[in-house]
Amino acid sequence: MANIHQLAYRVRKFFRMLYSQAHWYCGRRCEYCHWHRAVWYYAPGYAIACDECVPRGCGCNKDSDGTEPLDERGRRSPCCEWMMFPD
């Protein structure tokens, strides 16, 4: 019986991995709101976010004088670990 449970666990794990990679490459919907197209991805992991939902404000973006640069819409920048998709 334990082998059936192990097999079921591996099958579920495989399909989760397959779904996460399909979600990552196809469609690129934001993982937070599930509505907007994701334009940011988290480099150390697999999180993707749209421009509205990406976590903003981090100490790694501060200048030498302690101020944080703002984007064209007056918002704080995401952490340096969030990268913008190349396209």
Is the dihedral angle over the CA atoms 46, 47, 51, 55 positive or is it negative?
negative
Is the dihedral angle over the CA atoms 12, 14, 17, 18 positive or is it negative?
negative
Q: What is the pLDDT of residues 57-82, one digit of tens each?
A: 888 888 888 888 888 899 998 888 89
Would residue 22 count as lying in a domain? no
pLDDT given for residue 19 in this prediction: 59
Dihedral of the CA atoms 73, 43, 26, 54 (nearest 10)? -30
Would residue 45 count as lying in a domain? yes
**pTM for the structure as a whole:** 0.62
Would residue 3 count as lying in a domain? no
pLDDT given for residue 50 in this prediction: 92
The residue-averaged pLDDT of 21-45 equals: 78
Number of domains in the chain: 1
Residue closest to 87 by CA, chosen among 25, 44, 42, 31:
25
Would residue 61 count as lying in a domain? yes
The overall average pLDDT reported for the chain is: 81
The residue-averaged pLDDT of 19-39 equals: 74
CA distance 19 to 7: 18
Structural domain containing residue 79? 27-87
